[in-house]
Structures are given as structure tokens and as C-alpha cells.
């Protein structure tokens, strides 16, 4: 790939970069009781919401902002007569979180450990959205860079919104600390004992919840293993217990920085409203 094309891909792809920073698929609210340490786990839709998640953009919300930013970028490029690849559909009908592995029964029954079709298709499409159709000229590259820097494109750059405190310093390592705790190890031990009774074991070299001998392919064997896995997670209350452990570590951060977090969420809501109006006016 030429250096010019790489630069063009970076310029054109910025409009989707912020999607990677989205939070799990959970319903958000700023009405959080900072004393609450119990996570919200909904087995009916497969969602897991920890205290800090409620102040972040959900994945569907991030897609809405991405759509507005994409329209702004593409319309600018088109007005300059420069082609870009058609954008993939950046939506997902999946509400489940795999924060602690596969546990949502409807998906396990259909896909095993694989991704739902909509997520797999979106992932494939996202890599090419807004990409130049050919090795760009210097003039075309200048258009991509200029259009990415326009006021309309930048107004939907969600990564510019920050909490009013050092969020990274406060939160880095919390998940590892939670999963490495004695309480979490008790959860894993109970789950693994149940798995062993079903003829399964964990491959820790892949992840703490990877089942040995399985793959992402939705084969009969993988689906059967996934359903045993889900059964064991239900029997041991695996997801709720792990989520509660992690939520307990997040709760003091919410309590200490509730005002800043609410202000950040208000900024997200303002951008989200703006994005929805922009899409309605320009789609």
C-alpha cells in the first residue's frame, strides 16, 4: 500500500475511529445511586451494565453519531468530486455483552461462540467505510484531509468529550483487579467444576472464559458446548457475581466524581441530539 493511500485511509477513516471507544450494549441513565454496587444484569437481552457504563455512549448511540459524522464527511468529499467507497450499514441488532464470555442463551443456541450475523457483517463493512476507491492523487488526499477537518465532521467527534478528572488513572486495571480477586476466583472455580461435569474445560491460554476445543464456527459441537457453558453460568450465577465484584470497585469512582460524570453524559446527550437532527435533515 502506498504512503499516500495510507494517509488517505487514515483521513477518511477517522469518521469511524471513535466507534471503537463505545461502551457495552446497555441502556444508559445518569440517575445512578453512587452507593449501589450491584451491577444491572438482564438475562432477557444479555446486557451487563456497570456503574460507569451508565455515563458512556451505548453502541447504538455511537452508531448514530458515526452516521452523522459520515454524512458530513461524505457530502464534503462528494461536493469536491472525489469518490469514496459506499459505507457499510453500521447498526447492530445484538444487545448482548460478552464481557465475561458467552452467556446469552438465544445467541449460544444459534451461533455457539461465533458472532451474530449483524455484528460480523458490520465488522467487515466498517473497515472499508469511507475508504478511497483508488490510490489518491495529492489533490484528492488534500480533499480527504480538508473534509475530515470541517466543522460539521468535527462536531460529531465523540472522542473529544472527556470526564472532568483523570478517568484513565482512576479506572485502569480495575477489571483485572476484579477478575483476579479471591471472590472472582471462587466464581471461576464453581463454574469450572460445573463445566467438568459436562465434559468441558477452560483454555486459560486464550482467555479466562475460553472453552478448550471450541472455535467461532457455529458447528453443532460448538453450539452444544456453548449451551453447556451457558447452563453452568446460570447455575453458578456467574455473570451477576462477576459483575457485582467489578461494580463494587467502580462505585467509589462514581461517588467521588458523580458531578463530572453527569456533566460528561450531558455533553454526550447534546451531541447525540445534534447527530439525530443532522441525520434527519441530510439523510
Cβ–Cβ under 8 Å, residues 48 and 243: yes
What is the rounded average pLDDT for all residues in the chain? 83
How many other C-beta atoms are found inside a 10 Å radius of the C-beta of residue 149? 13
**pTM for the model:** 0.76
Q: What local confidence, expressed as pLDDT, does residue 283 receive?
A: 73
- Cβ burial 85-102 (10 Å sphere, 16+ → b, else e): eebbebebebbbbbbbbb
- pLDDT, greater one: 189 or 148: 189
**pLDDT at 35 > cutoff 60:** no
- DSSP code per residue over 217-244: S--HHHHHHHHHHHHHHHHTTHHHHHHH
> What's the whole-number mean pLDDT along residues 52-75?
92
- pLDDT, greater one: 89 or 188: 188
Percentage of the chain lying above the pLDDT 70 cut: 76
- Nearest Cα residue to 238 out of 193, 275, 198: 193
Q: What local confidence, expressed as pLDDT, does residue 94 receive?
A: 61
Percentage of the chain lying above the pLDDT 90 cut: 68
Q: Which 3-state string (H, E, C) describes 173-222?
A: CHHHHHHCCHHHHHHHHHHHHHHHHCCCCECCCCCCCCECCCCCCCCHHH
Strand-pairing partners, residue 193, are: none
Q: What local confidence, expressed as pLDDT, does residue 228 receive?
A: 98
**pLDDT at 86 > cutoff 80:** no
Encode pLDDT of 121-142 as tens digits: 444 444 334 444 557 788 888 9
Across 10-14, 110-114, 143-147, least confident range? 10-14
Strand, coil or helix: 26: coil
Amino acid at each position: 500500500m502506498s504512503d499516500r493511500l495510507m494517509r488517505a485511509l487514515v483521513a477518511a477513516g477517522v469518521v469511524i475511529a471513535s466507534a471503537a471507544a463505545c461502551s457495552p450494549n446497555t441502556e444508559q441513565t445518569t440517575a445512578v445511586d453512587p452507593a449501589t454496587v450491584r451491577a444491572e444484569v438482564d438475562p432477557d437481552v444479555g446486557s451487563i451494565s456497570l456503574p460507569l457504563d451508565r455515563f458512556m455512549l451505548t453502541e447504538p448511540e455511537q452508531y448514530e453519531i458515526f452516521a452523522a459524522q459520515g454524512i458530513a464527511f461524505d457530502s464534503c468529499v462528494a461536493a469536491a468530486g472525489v469518490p469514496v467507497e459506499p459505507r457499510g450499514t453500521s447498526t447492530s441488532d445484538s444487545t448482548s455483552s460478552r464481557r465475561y464470555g458467552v452467556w446469552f442463551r438465544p445467541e449460544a443456541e444459534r451461533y455457539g461462540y461465533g458472532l451474530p450475523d449483524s455484528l460480523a457483517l458490520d465488522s467487515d463493512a466498517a473497515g472499508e467505510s469511507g475508504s478511497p476507491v483508488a490510490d489518491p492523487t495529492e489533490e484528492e488526499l488534500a480533499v480527504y484531509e480538508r473534509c475530515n477537518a470541517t466543522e460539521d465532521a468535527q462536531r460529531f467527534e465523540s472522542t473529544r468529550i472527556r470526564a472532568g478528572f483523570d478517568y484513565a488513572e482512576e479506572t485502569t486495571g480495575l477489571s483485572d483487579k476484579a477478575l483476579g480477586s479471591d471472590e472472582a476466583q471462587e466464581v471461576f472455580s464453581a463454574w469450572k467444576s460445573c463445566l467438568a461435569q459436562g465434559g468441558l474445560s477452560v483454555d486459560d491460554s486464550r482467555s479466562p472464559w475460553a472453552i478448550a476445543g471450541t472455535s467461532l464456527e457455529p458447528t453443532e459441537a460448538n453450539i452444544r458446548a456453548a449451551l453447556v457453558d451457558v447452563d453452568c453460568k446460570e447455575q453458578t450465577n456467574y455473570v451477576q457475581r462477576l459483575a457485582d465484584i467489578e461494580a463494587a470497585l467502580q462505585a467509589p469512582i462514581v461517588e467521588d466524581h458523580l458531578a463530572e460524570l453527569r456533566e460528561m453524559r450531558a455533553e454526550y446527550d447534546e451531541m447525540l441530539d445534534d447527530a439525530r437532527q443532522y441525520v434527519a435533515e441530510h439523510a
